Structure 1
Amino acid sequence: MAARAAIAVLGAFAAANTIAAPVASAAPKCSDIEVAFARGTDEPAGIGVVGQAFVDTLRPMVKGSTVSTYAVKYPATWHFWKAAAGATDLSKRIQATAARCPDTKIVMGGYSQGAAVVDVVATSPIAGLGYTAPLPAAVVPHIAAVVVFGNPSARIGQPLTRMSPVFGSRTADLCAPNDPVCSLGRDFHSHVRYPESGLVKLAAQWVTRHAQAPAASPTVRR
């Protein structure tokens, strides 16, 4: 499967993910919007720098709505096959949130290896290769939008917008110019500059449209 094969792509670019991350804030019992975000390789536990920049940008755009965060629990180490553990944790969180807070609009997000985590959840309807908690069909409508940054699947020609017939139209799969993790570019610095690239703002605008209006929006490809 392309989503899982793409995890191996990260091995060639491990040195690119060296930025530090603040810890995600505790989620209230039920919020209007919950952002479940998987950090990049070697970032400390939390939603990561890119995830935090995304949430900070999103909050003022969804005025009147409460926004909580959930940091996906997984090693985020150089052992990329362990991303499956993150996919299991992300899926279980989404299922629990949908059951406990049915009116909450869920946003799946991830950066770099975290994007590969999201890929597995969004494209794997059955368990396998360490992924043990596929999303039930009944939970899918609770996910308002998906945002991924520096997605390694895009480097092998399989962005999430193309891989997932279920979530493709709800997904912003964003790749900075010349980012070697998600494109054939060679600018390693671009991979750690998503907060400054303008793509975080674009992702927040994408989520705002989906979270505040039920109508489908055009697929975003970068």
Structure 2
Amino acid sequence: MSSIIRNLLALSAVAAVAVAQDPASPPPKLDAPCADAVIFMARGNTAPYHDWRTFPYADATCAKLRAEGKTCDYIEIVFPYGGDYCKQIGEGVRNGLSQITAFNKKCPCTHLILNGFSQGAWIMGDVLAGPGGCSQITTGLDPTSAPGNAIAAALLWGDVKHEKNMPYNVGDGSDLQKNGRDATSLARLNRYAPVLRSYCSKGDPICAGGDDVDKHLTLFEKYTEDASNWTVGKINAAAPLCAAPTPTPSASSSAVASSVRVAGVASSSAAVSSSVAASSSAAAASGVAASGVAAASGAAAPSGAAAYSGVAAYSGVAASSSVAALPPAPTSPVYVAPFTAPQPYNDMCVPDITIKYVYV
């Protein structure tokens, strides 16, 4: 007789500060140019988008990549908080899969970095591995095909679903856990072991079953330098997703740049005059080309309230005409302006989650 696993979540606040979140917090950033690397960020519970706790990692990673002449940007995964916890997880996973897939179709040459903190780590883990405790219809991204094969690094911080004694664990909570994944979900997650890191500190109530909330909230202060260095190393070691453009001189003094996606997708070519190529290179070197890259991608970034309410509309990028022709490999260096200042916030609560599997 078949059995059904019913997941019961018991939530209780282990820390709370009764301070309302700033209603002027910005909407999530839903798009980015076709850069060398793009970080997908999933925030923690009660945090605003572009929060000050997690974004030092994005700032440090992109700064180090830019120092090497590479381009870097970020996109935020949209999901709500408040109400049913599993509904939040499910919406985050659906949106994450949609956003990552749509961006990869727009920018198949860009290496992807997945980054999630606390509740966001559970979401990112489920994006990779399928359901980790909440019922969903997904088995996670396949690392052997797009967009899974474009993921060069994935980082989970204070993961609700942290699994002890995994080779990708980092921190003195590596041998501890509170709520692990079931065998099937863990096996799927482990497919990404070569590009995965899971940070957990001893005493963290979320990933290690401890009772020191500060251990959870200071993970980025403790490990940002290590994580950003590791990520840059993974980007540098990753095989190209597209062949580099190869100019071929012709009688008309023009060059034809070809782009071939490594994953067996049909190649595309675009005729580019040598004078335009020269001017665009100069623009890139001068640091002006960042906005031009976004324009060249053929997809305007959503903004404002419309962007926040319309992830479904954003997923329509996959069907746009710009997807038909693969873009050339990113041109470096292209300077991406420093990101806006992260949003300060006070933690309203840190959910202490226990998952019970009841067989019926």
Q: Give the shorter-chain TM-score range.
A: 0.7 to 0.9
CA distance in 1, matches of 2:60, 2:37: 14
Structure 1 residue runs without a partner (length 5+): 216-222
Q: Secondary structure at the match of 2:98?
A: helix
What one-letter code is carried by the residue in structure 2 that aligns with 1:212?
A: N
Cα RMSD for the two superposed structures = 3.2
Q: Paired residue for 2:238?
A: 214
Specify which of 7, 31, 40 is matched with residue 36 of structure 1: 40
1:148 alignment counterpart: 156
What one-letter code is carried by the residue in structure 1 that aligns with 2:150?
H
User: Does structure 1 conserve the Cα–Cα contact (< 8 Å) formed by 2:129 and 2:141?
Assistant: no
In our comparison, the structure showing a higher alpha carbon Rg is 2
Report the equivalent of 2:102.
96
Aligned to 1:201: 225
The separation in 2 between residues aligned to 1:102 and 1:8, in whole angstroms, is 38
What letter corresponds to residue 101 of structure 1 in structure 2? C
Counterpart residue number, 1:184: 209
Q: How far did residue 208 of structure 1 move?
A: 0.8
Q: Write the letter of the residue equivalent to 1:208.
A: V
Q: 1:131 to 1:80 in 2, by over 3 A?
A: farther
Counterpart of 1:95 in 2: which secondary structure? helix
TM-score, scaled relative to structure 1:
0.79
Shift, 1:203, TM fit: 1.5
Structure scoring higher RCO (CA < 8 A, sep ≥ 6) equals: 2
Work out whether residues 130 and 188 of structure 2, in 8 Å CA contact, stay in contact via their aligned partners in 1.
no
Could you tell me how far apart the structure 1 residues matched to 2:50 and 2:18 are? 14
Whether contact under 8 Å (2:42, 2:77) holds in the other structure is yes
Does 84-93 or 54-63 show the bigger shift? 54-63
Quote the residue 1:77 is aligned against.
82
TM-aligned CA distance change 1:47 to 1:72, over 3 Å = farther
Shift of 1:131: 4.8
Q: Contact 2:30/2:76 (CA < 8 Å) preserved in 1?
A: no
Equivalent AA in structure 1 for residue 76 of structure 2: A
CA distance in 2, matches of 1:31, 1:143: 14
Distance of 1:203 and 1:17 partners within structure 2? 29
Answer yes or no: is the 8 Å Cα contact 1:110–1:118 preserved in 2: yes
Amino acid at match of 1:70: I
Q: Is residue 113 from structure 1 mapped to residue 119 from structure 2 by the alignment?
A: yes
- Give me the TM-score of the superposition, normalised by structure 2: 0.50
Determine the C-alpha separation between the residues in 1 that align with 2:95 and 2:234: 24
Letter in 2 for 1:191: H
Q: Deviation of residue 147 (structure 1)? A: 0.5
> Which of these residues, 124, 131, 135, is aligned with residue 130 of structure 2?
124
In the TM superposition, 1:6-85 aligns within 5 A as 8=9, 11-13=11-13, 15=15, 23=26, 27-44=31-48, 46-62=49-65, 63=67, 64-77=69-82, 79-82=84-87, 83-85=89-91
